Amino acid sequence: MKQVHISTFGCQMNDRDSELIAQVLSAHDYRLTERPEEADLILINTCSIRQKAEEKTYSLLGRLKRLKSRNPGLIIGVGGCVAQQEGDRLLERVPHLDLVFGTRWINELPDLVQTVRQRGRRMAEVALDHPLRYLPSEKAFRPSPIKASVTIMHGCNNYCAYCVVPYVRGPEWSRPPEDIAAEVRRLAAQGVKEVLLLGQNVNSYGAPKGAGGRAFIDLLEQLETIAGLERLRFTTSHPKDLSPDLIACFGRLSKLCEHIHLPFQAGADTVLARMNRGYTRAMYMERIQALRENCPEIAVTSDVMVGFPGESPADFEQTLDLIREIRFDDLFSFRYSDRHPARASGFPDKVPEEEKRRRLAELQALQKGITLARHQAREGTWEQVLVEGTSKKSGGQWSGRTRTNRIVNFPATHLEVGLTVPVFIEKGYAHSLKGRLSPPSGEGRQEDSCCCG
Ligand code: 5AD
Ligand code: SF4
C-alpha cells in the first residue's frame, strides 16, 4: 500500500474536496498519512481567494523541495484553485512539482498519478468543462462522526469584481436533489446529526428553474423529513438571492439552525456597485431586519473587506457604521488584494497597503467588542448544545455548539458525542461560551434530568 499526505488550504468546500480526494485514492490502494516524510504522494489542495492564501501554497511547495531531493520517487501534486488558475505555469515555476490537477479532476487522480509514475512525465489537467462526480461521503474520511458537509453545488456565475471564484471553479452547477437527499439519508443512518450544505451561492441552487430560491427551499423541506438528522445548516448565501420565502424557512423548519452567514463586503453603495454585488446597503439592512423579525434568535455572521479600489475614508466609515448598526455575531474581515483576472485588479485608485492595514485593525477592534458583548449577553441563559467531543484546551471539559453556531465548553463526566444537552451559560468570552450542565443552586434544573437524545 502506498501512502498519501494531503494538505488543505482555504474554505469548507476545499475541506470537503480533500475528503473526496482521500476517498478516491483509498479505493486505489493508498492510505492517508499525517507525516509528509513518510508519503509516496503529497497533494496540496490550494486556495487562491486572496493573495495571502495563494502565498501559503508557494511557501509549502518551497519546504517540500528538501523531501523530493531525498526521495526522488516522491510525487508532489497541486490541486484546487491555484492549480486551476496557473495550470502549466505552475509546473514551470516549481521544478520539483509533478502534477497539477484542476478543481474538476479529482475523480481521475489515481490515473493521473499512475501516468506520472509510470511514464515519468510531469503533467497538468485543468479543463473546466470536465464533469466532477461527488461520491457519497464516507465515515473514515470525515473529521467528525456526527457532523458532515455535503456539497450541493459548485461554481459561481456572479462575477463580483474582486473575486476569482468564477474563473477557478467555473460556472454554477447544482447536484440533483435526489442525489443530495440520498447522501443525507445515508449520513443520518451512519449517526450524523448535523449536515452543512455547501455551495458558493446556495441561494441560487437549481437556478434557473429554481429562480426565487424555490428549488433550494424544496431541498431544505425534503431534508427536514430525514429521520435521525437533527440539524441542518447551509453556506454561503448571497444577499441578492435571499428571498422572503427562504427567510421564512428560519423558524419554520425545525431542523434548520438559527444561523445565517450573509457576506455584506462593504457598507457604501458606490463601493457595492463597483463590486457588482447586485444589492444596496438598504437592501442588505432590510434582509437582516426581515430575518430578525421572522426569527429573533437568529445569529448573523458576515464577510467584509477593506480597501477595495477607490474606497474612500467616508466609504470605510459607512462600513463601520453598518457593523455598529447590525451588530454581527461574528465577522470575517479581509484586506482587499488583486486577483487576476477578476475585474477589480484593473481598477484605478488602489488603496495603499498601510491604509488597508489601519482600516482592518480599526474594524476588527470594533467587531471584537461586539462579539464579546453578544457572548456575554448569553450569560444566565440555557442553550441546546450538540456535543462534539472533549475540549482541546483543558481536561475534563467537553465542547459542542449551539444551534446559533457558538462554541460552548463545559465540564462533565458521563457524556457521549452526538448527544444534545441543555447547558447553562455562565460566561461569555471572545471566541466561546463557558457553561455547566447543572444550574447554579436555586435555578431549578438537575444534571440527571437534562440529557436528551
Ligand atoms: N480580496 C480580499 N478579500 C476577498 N474575498 C474574496 N475575494 C477577495 C479579494 N480579492 C473575501 C470576501 C469573500 C471571502 C470568502 O473572501 O469577503 O466573501
Ligand atoms: Fe465570488 Fe461573488 Fe461568486 Fe461569492 S458570489 S464566489 S464573492 S463571485
CATH number assigned to the domain comprising residue 25: 3.40.50.2300
C-alpha cell, 119: 511514464
| Residue located nearest, by CA, to atom 7 of ligand 1 | 163
Whichever domain contains 347, its CATH number is 3.30.750.200
Lowest mean pLDDT among 130-139, 292-301, 302-311, 383-392: 130-139
For residue 65, is it within any domain?
Answer: yes
For residue 276, is it within any domain?
Answer: no
| Residue located nearest, by CA, to atom 4 of ligand 2 | 200
Q: Residue 336 C-alpha to ligand 1 middle, in angstroms?
A: 7
> How far is CA 375 from its chain centroid?
22
For residue 418, is it within any domain?
Answer: yes
Q: Has residue 447 got a pLDDT over 60?
A: no
| Residue located nearest, by CA, to atom 13 of ligand 1 | 303
Task: Say whether 403 sits in a helix, a strand or coil.
Answer: coil
Can you list the alpha helix ranges (DSSP code H) found in 104-193?
109-119, 165-169, 177-189
Report how far apart, in Å, the C-alpha atoms of 294 and of each of 252, 253, 324, 405, 406 are.
9, 12, 21, 19, 20
Instruction: Name the nearest CA neighbour of 128 among 150, 157, 159, 155.
Output: 155
Q: What is the CA radius of gyration of the chain?
A: 23
Range 337-340, long-range pairs (CB < 8 A, 24+ positions): 337/50, 337/51, 337/52, 338/51, 339/48, 339/49, 339/50, 339/51, 339/162, 339/163, 339/164, 340/164
Mean pLDDT of 273-284: 98
Distance CA(103)–CA(287), nearest Å, equals 33
Pocket probe for ligand 2: among 13, 103, 156, 202, the residue whose CB has the most ligand atoms within 8 Å is: 156
For residue 20, is it within any domain?
Answer: yes
User: Is 14 in the same domain as 37?
Assistant: yes
Q: In what order do the strands lie in the sheet with 41-46?
A: 30-32, 2-8, 41-46, 75-79, 99-101, 123-125
For residue 450, is it within any domain?
Answer: no
**Atom from ligand 1 closest to the CA of residue 337:** 1
- Domain with 324, as residue range(s), is 291-377
Q: Determine whether the shortest distance from the Cβ of 344 to ligand 2 is under 6 A.
A: no
pLDDT per position as a tens digit, 237-246: 999 999 999 9
User: Is 116 in the same domain as 9?
Assistant: yes
Residue type, 200: Q
Q: Determine whether the shortest distance from the Cβ of 160 to ligand 2 is under 6 A.
A: yes
Q: Determine whether the shortest distance from the Cβ of 261 to ligand 1 is under 6 A.
A: no
Instruction: Name the nearest CA neighbour of 87 among 130, 115, 119, 124.
Output: 124
For residue 32, is it within any domain?
Answer: yes
Ligand in nearest proximity to the CA of 339: 1
Instruction: List Cβ neighbours of 435 (8 Å cut-off, separation of 6 or more).
Output: 383, 385, 408, 409, 410, 423, 424, 425, 426, 427
pLDDT at site 212: 61
Ligand in nearest proximity to the CA of 165: 2
User: Is 16 in the same domain as 118?
Assistant: yes
> How far is CA 175 from its chain centroid?
18
Pocket probe for ligand 2: among 12, 158, 275, 332, the residue whose CB has the most ligand atoms within 8 Å is: 158
Whichever domain contains 388, its CATH number is 2.40.50.140
Q: Determine whether the shortest distance from the Cβ of 49 to ligand 1 is under 6 A.
A: yes
Residue type, 336: Y
Contact at 8 Å (CB) between 212 and 205?
A: no
Q: Residue 49 C-alpha to ligand 2 middle, in angstroms?
A: 10
**Atom from ligand 2 closest to the CA of residue 236:** 4
**Atom from ligand 1 closest to the CA of residue 303:** 17
pLDDT at site 372: 98
Q: Determine whether the shortest distance from the Cβ of 306 to ligand 1 is under 6 A.
A: no
User: Is 97 in the same domain as 179?
Assistant: no
Q: How many domains does the chain have?
A: 4
For residue 285, is it within any domain?
Answer: no
User: Is 424 in the same domain as 334?
Assistant: no
pLDDT at site 140: 86
End position of a domain, from candidates 87, 103, 125: 125
Band of residue 260 on the pLDDT scale cut at 50, 70, 90: very high
Instruction: Name the nearest CA neighbour of 260 among 322, 194, 330, 178.
Output: 330
User: Is 30 in the same domain as 74?
Assistant: yes
| Residue located nearest, by CA, to atom 3 of ligand 1 | 336
Ligand in nearest proximity to the CA of 264: 1
Most distant CA pair in the chain, distance: 74
Distance CA(199)–CA(205), nearest Å, equals 8
Judging by beta carbons within 10 Å of its beta carbon (0-12, 13-18, 19+), is residue 218 exposed, middle or buried? middle
**Atom from ligand 1 closest to the CA of residue 236:** 18
- What does pTM read for this prediction? 0.93
DSSP 255: T
User: Is 214 in the same domain as 167?
Assistant: yes
For residue 282, is it within any domain?
Answer: no
Band of residue 139 on the pLDDT scale cut at 50, 70, 90: confident
Percentage of residues in the chain having pLDDT higher than 70? 95
**Atom from ligand 2 closest to the CA of residue 277:** 2
Ligand in nearest proximity to the CA of 170: 2
Judging by beta carbons within 10 Å of its beta carbon (0-12, 13-18, 19+), is residue 163 exposed, middle or buried? buried
pLDDT per position as a tens digit, 382-393: 999 999 999 766
**Atom from ligand 2 closest to the CA of residue 156:** 3
User: Is 250 in the same domain as 214?
Assistant: yes
Contact at 8 Å (CB) between 211 and 252?
A: no
User: Is 366 in the same domain as 396?
Assistant: no
User: Is 66 in the same domain as 116?
Assistant: yes
